[in-house]
Structure 1
């Protein structure tokens, strides 16, 4: 067990999550997702989770494993073209994970997703949560535009609002 990780998670409060992602920032992120959805037929969800619950934390659940759980819980896979993308931030770890449905996963390399995650994590380390989030959404938008350009009025399969867990 990683004692530092456990302490970070136990000390992550709702107040710290709200300080990093106040309502104004969440509104800006939602608008960025809405704009993103106009450019392609993919679907983007953005989730911030402050910390893992104790059982998951002590079981050693990784941010990637949790992101896959959240992808399923929010039904990001439930899109017309199987091209939903989850951008997941586990704030206590400052770890960004991108989970892509099979339609887009086959077309975008792991290195491209990782580049987006690294850019976001770099911004978050400097305390620039809104800028990092919007920048990540814009980079994901470019990848979706390349493979799933909007050829008709986009259909909203998933909500645009960010989720704070």
Structure 2
């Protein structure tokens, strides 16, 4: 029998989860854009971007009105991640933005600052979303702000 040191939803402490959800809420406050965080222990795919695409679609993130959803996928134990922006935001920021955000995460993750790295990445994505998709009257929160925990 194999015993894991934590259950799926215990990857982060309650205070860490609260910090990350709060980061998402603050990042989305002045934009119509949507940010989701998908976390799991292991990535079952060779390329974590494949898992991010699967999660993106399973969460219905491609259905936002302006196609401005961003998924931050992290496989903690495998030390892998992917950042996937929908077509609307990708068209505005281009590949260089995503590379910059990936490098930001790498820097934090190498120093074992997982929560801080995710928070900073969410903040910067939120700033970009605010620039390109400012909040307008009638904009509602199209997707939940909670963390999604995978397998």
What TM-score do you get using the length of structure 2 for normalisation?
0.88
Matched, 1:47 2:32: no
The equivalent residue for 1:142 is 127
Segments of 5+ residues of structure 2 without an aligned counterpart are: none
Extract unaligned runs of 5+ from structure 1.
1-10
Please report the TM-score for the alignment, with normalisation by the length of structure 1: 0.81
- Residue 122 of structure 2 is aligned to residue 131 of structure 1: no
Q: CA deviation at 1:124?
A: 1.8
**For the structure 1 residues 38 and 95, does the alpha-carbon distance in structure 2 shift closer, same or farther, using more than 3 Å as the test?**
same
Aligned counterparts of 2:113 and 2:69: Cα–Cα separation in 1? 25
Q: Deviation per CA, 1:40-74, whole angstroms, max 9, x where unpaired?
A: 1100001112103xxx45xxx31011111111111
Give a deviation string over 1:129-154, Cα, whole Å, max 9, x none: 21111101001011111110113264
Equivalent residue pairs, number:
149
* Segments of 4+ moved more than 6 angstroms: 16-19
Distance 2:110 2:8 in 1: 14
- Distance (whole Å) between structure 2 residues aligned to residue 14 and residue 78 of structure 1: 36
| CA-based RMSD | 2.2
Listed one character per residue, the Cα deviations across residues 100-123 of structure 1 (whole Å, up to 9, x for unaligned) are 111111111111111112111221
